[in-house]
Amino acid sequence: MFGTVVVGVGIAGLARIRDLMNPMPSSPSEHLKLLGFVSRRNFGNINEAKQISLEDALRSKDIHAAFISTENRSHEETIRMFLEAGKHVLVEYPMALSSKAAHELWEMAEQKDKVLHVEHIELLTEEYKQLKKEVAGKDLVKGTLHFTGHVLDENKTGFPAFSGIARLTWLIDLFGDLTVTSATREKQNDKNYSRMTVHFQTANK
């Protein structure tokens, strides 16, 4: 069995705990054993999962991998700590708030001979796989992707583009590398409203 720990118990972290404790039959998750979770808040136990300190998670020889589900701004530091401790890391997107930091983390994982995986669960859904089949072999002439969400705390999540990075991952996976041709941002603080509009171009323009 491969010992794991979940770091952060928001929506994503709680889902990780649930899935690790109740793996689907014959899935790779059956080979993972949840040995605890780490949180700044004091929970004690969640179902049968026990809370452990970050220090214990980093030190434990029985923990081989960490699932990081904290706020965006803390991803980079947490990844570094677990890689330094010799653990594999799965992190919810985005891996870091700058491409420079992300490249440094990839290099660090390679040097440590550890897996560093950025998770984007939407790319594994049947709906997305069907979408990919539908666009295969076709040329993108023009398209619009619009989505909405609640206003995010930029101190925790980073610049607003990070709240849409999952959709950028969609587009790059479907259509290859993209170049930003323009980007604008509109804010209405009195209405707690913010909108970002970005135009991209594919490699074949």
Contact between 160 and 152 (Cβ < 8 Å): yes
What pLDDT score does 4 carry? 97
* Cα-Cα-Cα-Cα dihedral sign, residues 40, 43, 44, 45: negative
Q: Amino acid letter at 56?
A: D
Residue 163 pLDDT level (bands cut at 50, 70, 90): low
CA distance 120 to 129: 13
pLDDT in tens, 75-111: 999 999 999 999 999 998 889 988 899 999 999 999 9
pLDDT in tens, 100-158: 999 999 999 999 999 999 988 788 888 989 999 999 988 888 988 887 777 777 777 77
Residue 195 pLDDT level (bands cut at 50, 70, 90): confident
Q: Amino acid letter at 94?
A: P
CA distance 142 to 168: 15
Q: Is 70 exceeded by the pLDDT of residue 190? A: yes
Q: What residues does 91 pair with on adjacent strands?
A: 68, 118
What pLDDT score does 44 carry? 85
What pLDDT score does 68 carry? 97
Contact between 88 and 64 (Cβ < 8 Å): yes
Spell out the residues 6+ positions from residue 109 whose beta carbon is closer than 8 angstroms to its own: 83, 89, 115, 116
pLDDT in tens, 15-58: 899 999 998 888 888 899 999 999 999 988 888 899 999 999 99
Helix (H, G, I), strand (E, B) or coil at 38: strand
Domains of the chain are: 2-119 (3.40.50.720), 125-202 (3.30.360.10)
- Residue matched to tokens 């118990």: 9
pTM of structure = 0.76
CA 166 to mean position of chain CA atoms:
9
